[in-house]
Structure 1
């Protein structure tokens, strides 16, 4: 999958539901995910999303395109100032040109989501990690075994550092940073890992407190 394809997929990767408005409901036990997966999941809100037709002048620009389809961004649009900052952070952290490659930024998002137990975010960003790194089997091992998995020296160091950052309270220390430096990561690249982990520590908490994941209906 090319970078352009991944970017297109990401724009449509927001949680989906067929009709705007009226999505608040309970997820049936038979539709709950059976664990961490790279398969696409849906997301059901516990807070009523705004309807696109009701979006005001501050909200409407934040919901243009595919972002207005699913309920997640329409829930966040109830506080448009926060959503605007969140969207800006996301662009800068995951699409920045300098520093760490996109695949390892997505790996950091996956590790953080795995630590925090956010099945929805882990499914989205594990797919991006696989698409960009071409290492789907390694990514699946991370999902299956957790952040204690051992893959290779570089990814192990990244996983351990990000998992330590995601802990509450954080337990990342100088030894983690020195290990990454010894493996050739620059301070800019390490900073990108910190930003990715911080961004998804926030995103996971939004997902986990505003709704729940749902496995798509079998066709």
Structure 2
């Protein structure tokens, strides 16, 4: 049960963002820029970073949502699972493995990102912007994960919910729909 009153029909981060529209707006805009904006990393690759970070933070709602979004965008239901299980054996490029390792280090503690980890990413073809965006996506999802878990937001158990949410994320992105979300009538 959430620590504050939230709309029952809006589990996870959605209800929290609706609770404070003024703080939600810049968070949503940043998320839209980082995960859907112009980038040399695909949208699916950026969702993999979000899924990995959420998995390591043990935030079930965000892990399920972003794993499903990555699955849909990559057209493969196994890549996100493989990345979360073992980055080094996952079926992703060497550049992506190096960036995911930077994400894993950042998630643990930003100071854990070493020059060697950055050098590995560069040698695998990562640009400075890709390294920057990997760290920023990681930091943003640590914020989201702490937000969801710190206020005990509802985490649906039904996989069909995450299928719907993954489809919503991949088609509409992270912007609030015009007029907000429908209110559940009793």
Deviates further, 114-123 or 134-143: 134-143
TM-superposed CA distance for 1:99, in Å, is 3.4
Over the residues paired in the alignment, what is the CA RMSD in angstroms? 2.5
**CA distance, structure 2, for counterparts of residue 185 and residue 148 of structure 1:** 16
Query: C-alpha offsets along residues 156-213 of structure 1, whole Å, 9 cap, x if unaligned?
Result: 2122110001013541111111111111111112222112111101000011111242
Distance 1:172 1:90, change over 3 A: same
| Per-residue deviation, residues 35-83 of structure 1 (Å, max 9, x unmatched) | xxxxxxxxxx3320269xxxxxxxxxxxxxxxxx514434334433211
The structure-2 alpha-carbon separation of the partners of 1:137 and 1:80, relative to structure 1 and needing over 3 Å to count, comes to closer
Q: Distance in 1 between matches of 2:115 and 2:37?
A: 25
Corresponding residue pairs, total: 156
Q: Name 1:122's counterpart in structure 2.
A: 63
Aligned residue for 1:136, secondary structure, equals coil
Residues 1:210 and 2:151 are matched in the alignment: yes
| Residue 10 of structure 2 corresponds to residue 70 of structure 1 | yes
CA displacement at 1:116 relative to structure 2: 0.6
Tell me what 1:88 maps to. Answer: 29
Structure with more relative contact order (C-alpha pairs < 8 Å, separation 6 or more): 2
TM-score of the aligned structures, taking structure 2 as reference length? 0.72
Which has the larger share of helix? 2
Instruction: Name the SS for the 1:213 alignment partner.
Output: coil
Q: List alignment gaps of at least 5 residues for structure 2.
A: 161-186
- TM-score calculated relative to the size of structure 1: 0.63
Residue 150 (structure 1) aligns with? 89
User: What stretches of structure 1 of length at least 5 have no aligned partner?
Assistant: 1-24, 26-44, 52-68
The answer as to 2:136 corresponding to 1:182 is no
